[in-house]
Amino acid sequence: MAHYFDEPSRTFSEYLFVPGYSSASMTPDKVSLQTPITKFKKSTQPVISLNIPLTSAIMQSVSSDELAIALAREGGLSFIYVSQSIESQAAMVAKVKAYRAGFSPNDTNIRPNQTVAELTELRKKTGHSTTTVTEDGSAHGKFLGIVSSRDIRPDYTSPETLIRDVMTPFDKLVVAQDGITLNEANNIIWEKKLNVLPIVDKKQNFVAYVFRKDYNSHRENPLELTDDNKRYLVGAGVNTRDYEERIPALVEAGADILCIDSSEGFSEWQKQTLQFVRKKYGDKVKIGAGNVVDGEGFRFLAEAGADFVKVGIGGGSMCITREQKGIGRGNATAIQDVAKARDEYFRETGWYIPLCMDGGVTFDYHMTLALAMGADFIMLGRYFARFDESPTQKLLVEGKYVKEYWGEGSARARNWQRYDHGGAGGKLAFEEGIDCYVPYAGSLHDNVALSLAKVCATMTNCGAMDIASLQKNAKITLVSAISIREGGAHDVMPKA
Ligand code: MZP
């Protein structure tokens, strides 16, 4: 006889927190959202922790290098999408790693013997006006000067003019040597009243810029997630097909952590991929696996060597897996069940394996519920797709600004490796995700700040000042259908 679960499969909207005691000193600004992302042995510290419990989904329409930089600046982490060539994914990872907090890489470069017309074309492509003149036109070539918007007078400067005749040459610029700290660079900017300070190495090769305009943003982001060299942390998705080639390329490019991207993680393919990493790199390379929705699936991946386990099947906002295949589990039940198995595993082995709640986290309070139910961090697609920094187009549809969003199992992404069951060949036999729009919401910084303000406020109401105590002490209740109605504005006439 088939196995039947006693509990119905429940989702976050069916639960509410019941407040706990909060003392006068418990205020939202004092809440710590720091959280582990890699497994660790009892009484030791995880090798990697996040400063906020948010990661962005391994999706074409979400996790590009630009979003990764914006999210790391807030203290979270992106997993660059895997459904692209190994070369382009590794290039995206390298681009994030080239970005030292406060130091901007150069993506608009030109040779001195090129023309103003070529410069105009280049600027249209990159959207940046500060152009670096290097001997060979490469990003880290010998630095010869800068062309800024002030050097070219529109309608007056002939398009045929050579760059060498309009640029501010190297000997007229204030530059600093590589190795300078951000503080020292900012001091020079203020003392010399500069807008930008170029950094060069000993051979005069270009390294990076420090911009005056970034000074405040850096000060506003004390939670920035960086490595020991002040470079932003970045993750990358991998699949269970080309991992032998893809993983070394991503590691070489500087990825700090990997995650197997699959709609269903309780499989021999995941075990083989994890074993490949352990054999080749030991514990040096960190890799998460998933997705699973019950204790059995969790234990399989834990024993196979996963650094974290991702939870959730069929709950994603654009996902139609449950409709297509009848497979999945309500997110709340899934995370509760897996967290129970994780805690048992910890008691048995002394290894704590962080859990990631992935997909279907819709309202901000769902984040808090997921954390309280045992998730250590959350992965979001729809949420991040709405922001300026996501890689998709912003469009005006029926009078409202939207951004494009599509599932990895949609015909548009054609990420068959995520859904395939192995064997020879590989194709997307039927769709498991849709191509859609999400309402445009503005900047990642503003939205993440607002969401986390709500998370911290709820935690304070629960008497929890960090995620571990929320998991231990939260009081959570199921709600009836009628009380869900009571939870919104009701029996009043809202003004339009
Ligand atoms: P959401 O945050 O938009 O609700 O869900 C994002 C998650 O949905 C991803 O992290 C991934 O696990 C899952 N996903 C991505 N593509 C599909 C699909 O095409 C999907 N069905 O379910």
Residue 216 has pLDDT above 90, yes or no: no
* Comparison of pLDDT for 137 and 51, the residue scoring more: 51
What's the whole-number mean pLDDT along residues 390-417?
92
State the pLDDT confidence band at 101, using cuts at 50, 70 and 90.
Answer: confident
Pocket test for ligand 1, best of 358, 366, 437 (most atoms within 8 A of CB): 358
**Ligand 1: lining residues by beta carbon, under 6 Å:** 57, 59, 316-319, 321, 358-360, 379-383, 407-410, 432-433
Query: How close is the Cα of 330 to the center of ligand 1, in Å?
Result: 14
Residue 105 has pLDDT above 80, yes or no: no
Q: Closest ligand 1 atom, CA of 314?
A: 22
Token digits for 41? 């042995």
pLDDT for the residue 491: 86
Phi, psi of 100 (to 5 degrees): -85, 135
- Per the rule left: phi > 0, alpha: psi between -120 and 50, beta: everything else, 374 is left
Query: How close is the Cα of 436 to the center of ligand 1, in Å?
Result: 12
User: Measuring from atom 22 of ligand 1, which residue has the nearest CA?
Assistant: 319
Residue 287 has pLDDT above 80, yes or no: yes
Query: How close is the Cα of 267 to the center of ligand 1, in Å?
Result: 19
What's the whole-number mean pLDDT along residues 149-165?
87
- The number of angstroms, rounded, from the C-alpha of 386 to the middle of its chain's C-alpha atoms is 13
State the pLDDT confidence band at 489, using cuts at 50, 70 and 90.
Answer: confident
Nearest to residue 306, comparing CAs of 292, 323, 325? 292
What's the whole-number mean pLDDT along residues 188-211?
92
What's the whole-number mean pLDDT along residues 192-215?
89
pLDDT for the residue 217: 66
Q: Closest ligand 1 atom, CA of 410?
A: 19
What's the whole-number mean pLDDT along residues 438-446?
96
What's the whole-number mean pLDDT along residues 25-44?
97
Pocket test for ligand 1, best of 79, 317, 318 (most atoms within 8 A of CB): 318
Catalytic residue among 123, 418, 456, 462: 418
Pocket test for ligand 1, best of 60, 63, 263, 364 (most atoms within 8 A of CB): 263
Pocket test for ligand 1, best of 291, 367, 408, 418 (most atoms within 8 A of CB): 408
Q: Closest ligand 1 atom, CA of 312?
A: 12
Q: Which residues have C-beta within 8 Å of that of residue 44, sequence separation ≥ 6?
A: none
155-157-163 Cα angle (round to 5): 140
Residue keyed to tokens 């187009």 = 393
**436 catalytic per annotation:** no
Share of the chain above pLDDT 90, in %: 77
What's the whole-number mean pLDDT along residues 337-352?
98
**418 catalytic per annotation:** yes
Q: Closest ligand 1 atom, CA of 317?
A: 4
Q: Tell me the per-residue pLDDT of 228-253, one tens digit each, with 9 for 90 and over.
A: 888 999 999 999 999 999 999 999 99
Q: Closest ligand 1 atom, CA of 59?
A: 15
State the pLDDT confidence band at 218, using cuts at 50, 70 and 90.
Answer: low
pLDDT for the residue 104: 80
What's the whole-number mean pLDDT along residues 361-366?
97
Residue 208 in contact with residue 103, Cβ under 8 Å? Answer: yes
Catalytic residue among 73, 123, 231, 319: 319
pLDDT for the residue 52: 98
pLDDT for the residue 140: 87
Rounded Cα–Cα distance for residues 210 and 464 (Å)? 39
Query: How close is the Cα of 370 to the center of ligand 1, in Å?
Result: 16
User: Measuring from atom 17 of ligand 1, which residue has the nearest CA?
Assistant: 407
- Looking at the DSSP bridge assignments, the partners of residue 36 are 49
What's the whole-number mean pLDDT along residues 263-268?
94
Residue 196 in contact with residue 130, Cβ under 8 Å? Answer: yes
List, in sequence order, the alpha helices (H) in 374-422.
382-385, 416-419
Q: Closest ligand 1 atom, CA of 291?
A: 12
| Residue ranges of E strands in 63-162 | 77-80, 109-110, 131-134, 143-147
Query: How close is the Cα of 291 to the center of ligand 1, in Å?
Result: 11
pLDDT for the residue 422: 59
Q: What's the CA dihedral at 477, 478, 482, 483 to 10 degrees?
A: 20
Query: How close is the Cα of 147 to the center of ligand 1, in Å?
Result: 43
State the pLDDT confidence band at 130, using cuts at 50, 70 and 90.
Answer: confident
Lowest mean pLDDT among 42-56, 206-220, 231-245, 361-375: 206-220
User: Measuring from atom 8 of ligand 1, which residue has the nearest CA?
Assistant: 316
Residue 487 has pLDDT above 90, yes or no: no
| Residue ranges of E strands in 372-482 | 377-380, 394-397, 400-406, 435-439, 475-478
Residue 424 has pLDDT above 60, yes or no: no
- Looking at the DSSP bridge assignments, the partners of residue 55 are 77, 379
Burial 474-485 (b: 16+ CB within 10 A, else e): beeeeeeeeeee
Residue 110 in contact with residue 147, Cβ under 8 Å? Answer: yes
Lowest mean pLDDT among 32-36, 102-106, 178-182, 441-445: 102-106
Query: How close is the Cα of 188 to the center of ligand 1, in Å?
Result: 46
Q: Closest ligand 1 atom, CA of 407?
A: 19
Residues in the chain: 496
pTM: 0.87
Share of the chain above pLDDT 70, in %: 98
User: Measuring from atom 7 of ligand 1, which residue has the nearest CA?
Assistant: 359
Query: How close is the Cα of 17 to the center of ligand 1, in Å?
Result: 26
